[in-house]
């Protein structure tokens, strides 16, 4: 085991993994984070904690991840290269590992001009692929980027961060060939798992996944397909028009628009998507995110037949082998 995180155990055991997502608040409301964590406890194997998503200032992902962890949900701490140079990225990995956080997701980050601090200077010291490589090297070799070892004194034990390293992939932004190539680079950099951009366009996703499988990449990295229950057709239209890198079929928008109970329809659509995704070769799990609707994740997971989840800490065959 690389990190012995719950997510790693579930994936290593060959089970279909489920991750959720918690967006930290725009205030110091720790209780809100706890409430969201409790909703997801026992429902997901791990929950992503977003990192100032869409470049809007919120509680930092490390603090929120720690709060979530205390409430019995394993966090996947998202980390963008937008706000941290290589010093901060490495330091935050050490800090996260010291706090017991075992999964990170390495991202470029939405550009700062798109958020609520458009005058900000972005860090963008290294890119997400380079970041994956740095994080993996810290774990595998116990070394910082500069080559220095992670030990307190020369004679002390090496203390590398035991982290499971993830990255994102966008199957929906052409050119497709390029997307495959870039995923291959993330795999070569050492990514353990990949979470995809939210899937609404199943045809486009299948085309992407087919190419991934042809390239054999699905055997080298665990790919989790992103899904999102939406409350209305307006949410879809908004995403189609305003969110970078999304593909949303018009038929889906129409279906949501014509539904008598749009929220129920949104859940149905999401459950159907998950069921289709489970049938696909090359997918090892799903990542369920929402826009401020974490409370629906248990319902989606239940109706998609994803419950119960393996108990946290449940040992897997490969862990027994490596022990």
Partner 1 sequence: MIVATRKNVRELKQLLAPYQRIAVLGCGTCVTVCLAGGEREAGMMASALRMASRLDGVEKDIRDLTIERQCDDAFIDEAWKSLDEADAILSLACGAGVQALAHRFPGKPVFPGVDTQFIGILEEQGIWAEKCIACGHCRIGSYGAICPVTRCAKHILNGPCGGSHDGKCEVNPDTDCAWQLIYDRLKAIGEEYRMEEIAPLADWSLSNEGGCRKIIREDQRI
CA–CA distance from 256 to each of 133, 300, 310 (Å)?
Answer: 41, 17, 33
Question: Smaller CB distance to partner 1: residue 21 or 265?
Answer: 21
What's the CA gap between 139 and 160, in Å, rounded?
A: 5
Residue in 273, 269, 303, 296 with CA at minimum distance from that of residue 286: 273
Question: Smaller CB distance to partner 1: residue 86 or 278?
Answer: 86
**Cβ-count burial 198-226 (b if 16+ within 10 Å, e if not):** bbbbbebbbebbebbbeeebbeebbbbbb
Question: Smaller CB distance to partner 1: residue 175 or 308?
Answer: 175
Question: Smaller CB distance to partner 1: residue 63 or 145?
Answer: 145
Considering just the CA atoms, what is the radius of gyration of the chain in Å?
Answer: 19
The residues of the shown chain that bind partner 1, judged by CB under 8 A, are 81-82, 86, 108-111, 113-114, 122, 124-130, 133, 145, 168-170, 173-175, 178, 181-182, 184-185, 188-189, 197, 244-245
Question: Smaller CB distance to partner 1: residue 38 or 185?
Answer: 185
Q: Do residues 64 and 121 lie in contact, with contact meaning Cβ atoms separated by under 8 Å? A: no
Residue in 254, 192, 252, 210 with CA at minimum distance from that of residue 227: 252
């Amino acid at each position: 085991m690389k990190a012995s995180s719950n997510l790693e155990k579930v994936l290593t055991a060959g089970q279909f993994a489920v991750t959720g997502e918690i967006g930290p608040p725009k205030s110091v409301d720790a209780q809100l984070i706890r409430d969201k964590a409790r909703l997801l406890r026992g429902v997901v194997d791990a929950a992503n904690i977003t990192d100032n998503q869409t470049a809007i200032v919120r509680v930092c992902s490390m603090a929120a991840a720690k709060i979530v962890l205390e409430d019995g949900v394993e966090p996947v701490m998202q980390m963008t290269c937008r706000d941290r140079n290589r010093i901060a990225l490495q330091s935050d990995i050490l800090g996260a590992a010291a706090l017991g956080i075992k999964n990170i997701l390495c991202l470029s980050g939405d550009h700062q001009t798109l958020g609520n601090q458009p005058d900000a200077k972005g860090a963008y010291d290294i890119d997400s692929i380079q970041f994956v490589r740095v994080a993996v090297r810290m774990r595998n070799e116990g070394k910082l980027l500069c080559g220095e070892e992670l030990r307190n004194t020369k004679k002390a034990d090496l203390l590398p961060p035991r982290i499971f390293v993830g990255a994102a992939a966008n199957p929906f932004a052409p050119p497709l060939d390029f997307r495959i190539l870039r995923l291959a680079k993330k795999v070569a950099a050492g990514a353990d798992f990949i979470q995809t951009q939210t899937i609404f366009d199943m045809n486009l996703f299948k085309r992407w996944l087919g190419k991934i499988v042809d390239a054999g990449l699905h055997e080298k990295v665990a790919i989790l397909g992103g899904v999102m229950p939406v409350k209305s057709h307006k949410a879809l239209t908004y995403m189609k028009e305003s969110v970078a890198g999304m593909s949303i079929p018009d038929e889906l928008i129409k279906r949501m628009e014509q539904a008598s109970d749009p929220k129920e329809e949104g859940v149905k659509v999401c459950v159907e998507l998950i069921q289709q995704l489970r049938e696909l070769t090359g997918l090892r799990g799903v990542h369920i995110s929402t826009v401020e609707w974490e409370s629906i994740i248990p319902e989606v997971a239940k109706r998609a037949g994803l419950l119960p989840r393996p108990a946290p800490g449940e040992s897997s065959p490969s862990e027994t082998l490596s022990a």
